[in-house]
Amino acid sequence: MSRPPTAGVIRLRPHHLLCLVAFQGEGYSPEFVEKTRGLQRALLADGTVIELVRGPDDLCDGCPEMKEECVSLAPDSGVDGLDHAASALLGVSPGRHRAADLLQSLKDAYSAERGYEVCGGCSWLPRMDCPRVIAIRLRELFPEKPTHGGGPRA
Q: 71-99: per-residue pLDDT in tens? A: 555 555 678 889 999 999 999 999 999 99
Mean pLDDT of 120-142: 89
Mean pLDDT of the 60-66 span: 75
Question: 2-39, pLDDT tens digit by residue?
Answer: 444 455 799 999 999 999 999 988 877 888 889 999 99
Could you tell me if residue 149 is inside a domain? no
Number of domains in the chain: 1
Q: Answer whether residue 34 is part of any domain.
A: yes
Residue 27 lies in a domain: yes
147 lies in some domain: no
91 in any annotated domain = yes
> pLDDT band for position 148 (50/70/90)?
low
| 116 occurs within a structural domain | yes
Indicate the average pLDDT of the chain: 83
In a domain, 86, yes or no: yes
- What average pLDDT does range 53-57 have in this prediction? 89
Per the domain annotation, does 115 fall within a domain?
yes
Q: Which residues pair with 51 in a beta bridge?
A: 11, 96
- Which residue did the predictor score with more confidence, 115 or 148? 115
Asked if 130 contacts 115 with a C-beta cutoff of 8 angstroms, the reply is: yes
Question: Do residues 98 and 30 touch, judged by C-beta distance below 8 A?
Answer: no
Supply the range of the domain harboring residue 22. Answer: 9-141
